[in-house]
Amino acid sequence: MINFLLVALGGAVGSVLRYSVGFAVAHIWPQHLYIATVFVNIVGSFFIGCAFSWFLLRPDISALSPLLLMTGLLGGFTTFSTFSLDALRIFNEGQHMQALLYVGVSLLGGLLAAWLGMALIKFTL
């Protein structure tokens, strides 16, 4: 039961953080709200790379910690379903190149950020 509670707690915090980023971007660039999704997906990918490596290199840390941080917090923070919807909306608005750029930057940026996070932890521990 504690596993579910930790995932729920982390997910609630991650979701509020994601909403906060979207709220901030809506006030700065209301015409480019999808930037918030790109940001959270890349930042979330970086931190999940960090967390993954940290937990691999630190087996002494409780097995509950990844549930709270990776599954819960970062799962609630990142937004693949929103990413998919945003890409389709941009594409359906006739902005085909912008939609392709959005998908490319999100996917490559996320992969690069996750790799950087893993490398950072690997080389600092």
| Cα 40 to Cα 106: distance, rounded to the nearest angstrom | 10
Phi, psi dihedrals of residue 19, rounded to the nearest 5°? -60, -40
75 is in an annotated binding site: yes
- Amino acid (one-letter) located at 97: M
- Residue numbers in the known binding site are 75, 78
- Residue numbers in the known binding site for Na(+) are 75, 78
